[in-house]
Structure 1
Amino acid sequence: MKAIPVDNEQNNEQKPANPSNNGAEQSEQSELQAQMVELQMSMAHLELTVEQLDQVIARQDQHIQTLQRQLQLLYTQIQTQGPEEGIAPFDIMADKPPHY
């Protein structure tokens, strides 16, 4: 590559700031900051929602386990009862409601 001579007087001069360009950069930065804040708020809201849903799922799991134990106890009770102690058979003619 060939070196290009540079005039020192031109280099020492500072270019005047372009107010329209500087304002556009600041506007873009503030817009990006606003978007970042919005994303952070959305992320925080989603994290809170996930934690709440996790708690709901944990409670439902405990409830389901309790119901399963109760159902197992009922099955055990029904199996240990004799036929005369069990649930009476349903007879539609004998168990007719009084309003018929």
Structure 2
Amino acid sequence: MTGLYQIRVVGGGEFTCGGDERVLLAMERCGAGDIGVGCRGGGCGICRVKVVEGDYRTGKMSAAKVSDSDLQAGYALACRLFPAGNLVIAVE
């Protein structure tokens, strides 16, 4: 794992996530349940979150679930969200 970062969910719990690990899978690995789980493939939108604080990168996501303007506003699908530092996220 590249780096180990703290992920805090606004109004929820906290868990750790490696820099090369998807936030949704890290949440499941740690036994947390704050983010909805759907297809895990970037298409259904159930795990949509807003990154409130922190640096990150994303993988390929459905443009129907996260538009370019959504991306600019900090929205992402947790199944395609990789932390580059500690994150604070809000669940939709």
TM-score, structure 2 normalization: 0.15
The structure with higher relative contact order (CA 8 Å, sep 6+) is 2
Larger Rg: 1
Higher strand share: 2
Higher helix share: 1
TM-score, structure 1 normalization: 0.14
